[in-house]
Amino acid sequence: MRILCTNDDGIHAPGLKIVEQIARALSDDVWIVAPELDQSGVSHSLSLNDPLRLREVGPRHFAVRGTPTDCVIMGARHILRDKMPDVVLSGVNKGRNVAEDVVYSGTIAGALEGTILGLPSFALSQEFTAQSRENPMWDAALEFGPPILSKVISAGVPKNTVINVNFPACAPGEVAGVRVTRQGKRNLGFLKIDQRRDGRGNPYFWIGFERLAKVDIPEEGTDLWALASRYVSVTPLRLDRTDEAFSEALTAMLK
């Protein structure tokens, strides 16, 4: 089994080493194609107006000056073009990718591109706490990642589905188990605009985050609930975003 690994945190990110270890627990044929620079939050963007620079950083390890989407395309269509990968792994992201994160996440996008190419694809993310932000506990991902991937790959992944896996911020022995979940919804009041001035007095802005005065209790069965309860969250995400229920109502409305 040939596995192509990517991420959105960059070629030197600690989580990329973790996803490589997970991949090597499943196969000896592992290839790494990751962004040269941090691409967090770029979503499923594709470089069309800028050239892609490819750099070999080691045996079967390549850096692309582009997005996670670019990396998967370069890996599958150029580097491995004579023998396409069988599986795409994207991650392990430093920080969870749940709820609305899946829209913004470059980690999810790397897996989405694998799915578009017709390959079973997984996005892997490691939650951290305020205390473990600088040094996330990767052991949960290392212990639970390989058996989860092995079971899902053996069972088969539908052609238009991405498997989004999030590991809780705790030691493996504290993990309550594994739950198949649905995408949750979070209070987005934590987004803020931070205005500052540069050395010449001109304004510039950062999109940032602030602590919520009140944290909503996540709905049971969601990815947010699973992590809060110390479960590994496994969420199948469909590539087809058609709202079937509203489509029927809209059809009747527009007759």
3-27 residue pLDDT tens: 999 999 999 999 999 999 999 999 9
pLDDT at 211: 66
The domain limits of the chain are 2-253
Task: Read off the DSSP letter of residue 182.
Answer: B
Model pTM score:
0.94
For the beta carbon of residue 48, count every other beta carbon within 10 angstroms: 6
pLDDT at 50: 94
Q: Which of the two residues, 36 and 215, has the higher pLDDT score?
A: 36
The answer on pLDDT for 190 being more than 80 is no
The answer on pLDDT for 187 being more than 90 is no
Question: Which tokens sit at 236?
Answer: 């199948």
- Residues counted in the chain: 255
pLDDT at 134: 85
Determine the angle formed by the axes of helices 14-24 and 139-155, rounding to 10 degrees. 40
Q: Which residues of 99-111 are buried (b: 16+ CB within 10 A; e: fewer)?
A: bebbeebbbbbbb
210-230 residue pLDDT tens: 766 556 789 999 999 999 999
DSSP H helical ranges for the chain:
14-24, 68-74, 101-104, 106-116, 139-155, 223-228, 244-253
78-132 residue pLDDT tens: 999 999 999 999 999 999 999 999 999 999 999 999 999 999 999 999 999 988 8
What class does CATH assign to 2-253?
alpha beta
